[in-house]
Structure 1
Amino acid sequence: MDLFLLKKIISLMIMPLSIIILLLIIAIIFYRLKPKLSFWALFSATTFLFLSTFPPLSDNIMASLEDNYPAFTRSNKPVDYIIILGGVHTSVQGLPATSELKSSSLERLVEAVRIYRLHPEAQIITSGFSGGDVSSNAEKVKQAAILLGVPKNKILTENFPQDTEEEAQLIAPRVLNKNVVLVTSANHLPRAMAYFQRYGVNAIPAPASPWVKSNGLTPWSYYLPHAKKLQQTTTAWYETLGRIVQWFKG
C-alpha cells in the first residue's frame, strides 16, 4: 500500500469522530454480554463528544496552534516568492476554479493575492498534487489566481508534493537565500515553517484564515456544544498529530 495513503487511513482512524463511533459500537455489541464495559464505552463516547464540541475547549486547543504568528503586513524589502501550500479541490465542469477549491485552499489563495497586491514584484509558487483529481492542486490554485487578477507569467507550480514535508523539500532549492513569504492556514503554519527551516528556508510567515476569532464578546450560547466545533477540534487534533510525527522524525 502507498505510504501516503496508509498515513491518511491511520490518521482517519484516530480522529475524534472515529473514536466516538468505535466506542458506540463497543457499547452496542457488549450491551448484554458485558453491561459494565458497555456503560463505560457509552459514557466515554458521550464525554468525548461533549468535549470535542465544547467551544471554550476547542478554541483553546486551536488557538495554541494559531497564535504563533501575527498576520502579514508588509516586508521591509522586496519579496522574491510567495509560496501557497497545497490544499484540496474538486474539479467540476462548469464551475470556475475559485469555486472548485475547498475553503481552506481558497483562503490561502486569497491571503496570497492580498500579499501579492502589496508586493507585485514577487512571483507566486502554488503547490500540491492531484489527490485523485484530474488536476493538481497547484494547477487549480494557479487557475484561480489568474481569475483573481494575478498575471499567468507570475505563477510557478509544483505539481507533485503529497504533503507538507515534500513541499518544503521540493520548493526549497528554488527559493534558498531569497526573501520568501509562506502562506498556509494559521493552524498549519508552525509545522510548515519547521519543515521549510529544516531545508534551509527562513520564510516570512503569513497565516491565513484562523478558526478562532474573538471580538471580546462572549454570549451565553458560546458555552453550549456546537457541531462546527467538532470539525475545529478534528482539524486541531490532526495538526497536533502532524507535529508529534514531525518531532519524532527530528
Structure 2
Amino acid sequence: MHGDDTVFFIASKVLGFFLVPSNLIALLCAIGALLTLTRARRRGVKLLTVGVALLLVAGYTPLGNALLLPLSERFPPWQDNGRAPDGIIVLGGAINSDLSAARGVLELEASAERIVTVLELARRYPQARIVLSGGSANLLAPGNAEAPFAGRLLQAFGVAPERIALESGSRTTTENAVQTKRLVAPKAGERWLLVTSAFHMPRSIGAFRAAGFEVEAYPVDWRTRGWNDLWWPFERLSMGLARTDLAVHEWVGLIAYRWARRSTELVPGPR
C-alpha cells in the first residue's frame, strides 16, 4: 500500500501542476507567443487570444466561486447536541512549516482557521483528545512536517501534552485518514470531529469513510460569504485566478480519489 501511496502522491503532484488553470493558461499563452515567431503566426495569435480570454474569465468573473460553492456549502456548520466529542482531528494546511523552520517563528497559511478552531475546541472540550495530522507534501525537496509545529503551538496555549497526538507522516488526504486511524485506534461509539477547510471537507470525509473511520464534519475557512457571491466579480485578477485554481484543484482531487477508490463517492455529503 505504501508503494501505491507514493505513486499516487507523485502522480497527483505532477498532474496537479499541469491541470491548475493558471498554469494551463500560462502554458497556452507561452505556446501562442512562440508560434507567432514562426510560420504558424496566425495559429499563435489565436492561441494567445484564447489564453488572454481565459485569463480574464478566470481572474475577474465569479467562476472560481461558482466552482467552490458546491463544495464549501456541502456540509453545514457543526452543531453541539450536548454530547462532548471524544477526539478532535485537524488536518494540515494551517501552518507553513518550511517557512516557520527557516525563520524560527510560526508562519500561518490562508487556512489558519483550522488551527485557531482547534485551540477553541480544545478549551471548550477539555477531555477531548487532539490529533494534528500533517506531514510534508513537498515533492522535489525534503520538507518539514507540519504537525510538530501545530503541537508546540497548542502546548504554548496551555493544552496538556498528554492530550495531543501528532501524525507527521501523511502527504495526502488519504494518508491523513489511514495514518490517523492507525494512530488513535478509534473505538466503537466514540465521537470524533474532523476540522478542515469547508471546500476540502467533501474529499476529506470521503477519504476517512473509505478508511473506515467515521468522523463528524467541522468545516471552517469558508472563503465565500455564500451563494450571493455567484453574482459578484473579483476586484483583482489575482484574487479570481487564485480562487479558480483552488476550486479546480479540489474538483480534480475529488475525481482522482473516486477513480482510485480512495473515496466512497464523488462528492461525499452528510449522512
Normalised by the shorter chain, which TM-score bucket? 0.7 to 0.9
Give the whole-Å Cα distance in 2 for the aligned partners of 1:51 and 1:6.
Answer: 28
Counterpart of 2:264? none
Determine the C-alpha separation between the residues in 2 that align with 1:120 and 1:57.
42
Task: Show the counterpart of 1:195.
Answer: 207
Percent pairwise identity: 24
User: Structure 1 pair 55/147, CA: closer, same or farther in 2 (3 Å)?
Assistant: farther
Asked if 1:155 corresponds to 2:161, the answer is no
Listed one character per residue, the Cα deviations across residues 148-206 of structure 1 (whole Å, up to 9, x for unaligned) are 33222211011111111011111224224220000111111100001111122221101
Amino acid at match of 2:175: E
Q: Is the 8 A contact 2:69 2:226 kept in 1?
A: no
Query: Among residues 65, 74, 83, which one is paired with 1:68 in the alignment?
Result: 74
Contact conserved, 1:101 with 1:141, CA < 8 A, in 2?
no
TM-score (norm 1): 0.88
Q: Quick one: structure 1 residues 200 and 217, their matched pair in 2 at CA, closer, same or farther if it must change by over 3 Å? A: closer
Q: Which residue of 2 aligns with 1:247?
A: 258
Match of 1:167 in 2: 176
Change (3 A) 1:80 1:144: same
CA distance in 2, matches of 1:128, 1:51: 34
CA 1:224–1:140: 2 relative to 1, 3 Å:
closer
2:126 equivalent among 120, 131, 138: 120
Q: More deviation in 145-154 or 236-245?
A: 145-154
| CA distance in 2: counterparts of 1:6 and 1:214, whole angstroms | 33
The letter of the residue matching 1:89 is S
Distance of 1:158 and 1:79 partners within structure 2: 19
User: What residue in structure 2 maps to residue 230 of structure 1?
Assistant: 241
Of the candidates 89, 105, 110, which is equivalent to residue 103 of structure 1? 110
- Gapped runs of 5+ residues in structure 1? none
Q: 1:163 to 1:217 in 2, by over 3 A?
A: closer
Does the 8 Å CA contact 1:55/1:226 hold for their aligned counterparts? Answer: no
Question: Please, which of 204, 221, 226 is the counterpart of residue 209 of structure 1?
Answer: 221
- Describe the SS at the equivalent of 1:187: helix
Q: Which runs of 5+ in 2 are unaligned?
A: 262-271
* TM-score (normalised: structure 2): 0.82
Q: Distance in 2 between matches of 1:65 and 1:101?
A: 23
Q: Return the letter of the residue paired with 1:29.
A: L
Residue aligned with 1:53, SS: helix
Given that residues 80 and 121 in structure 1 are in contact (C-alpha distance below 8 angstroms), is that contact kept between their aligned partners in structure 2?
yes
Q: Deviations over 1:83-129 (max 9, x none)?
A: 01122422345643xx323232x221112222223322211100111
Q: Which amino acid in the other structure matches residue 28 of structure 1?
A: A
Residue of structure 2 in register with 1:50 after alignment: 56
Q: Which amino acid aligns with 1:168?
A: A
Work out whether residues 176 and 200 of structure 1, in 8 Å CA contact, stay in contact via their aligned partners in 2.
no
Indicate how the Cα distance of structure 1 residues 69 and 215 shifts in structure 2: closer, same or farther if over 3 A, else same. Answer: closer
Task: Identify the match of residue 7 of structure 1 among 8, 12, 21.
Answer: 12
| Mean CA deviation greater in 34-43 or 78-87 | 34-43
Residue 97 of structure 2 aligns to a residue whose secondary structure is: coil
SS of residue in 2 equivalent to 1:62: helix
User: What is the alpha-carbon root mean square deviation over aligned residues?
Assistant: 2.5
SS at match of 1:33: coil
Counterparts of 2:258 and 2:168 in 1: how far apart (Å)?
27
CA contact (8 A) 2:65 2:230 kept: no
CA deviation profile, 1:201-222 (whole Å, cap 9, x unmatched): 22110111111125969997x4
Distance 1:8 1:232, change over 3 A: same
1:35-62, CA deviations, whole angstroms, 9 ceiling, x for partnerless residues?
3311221122112111211342221111
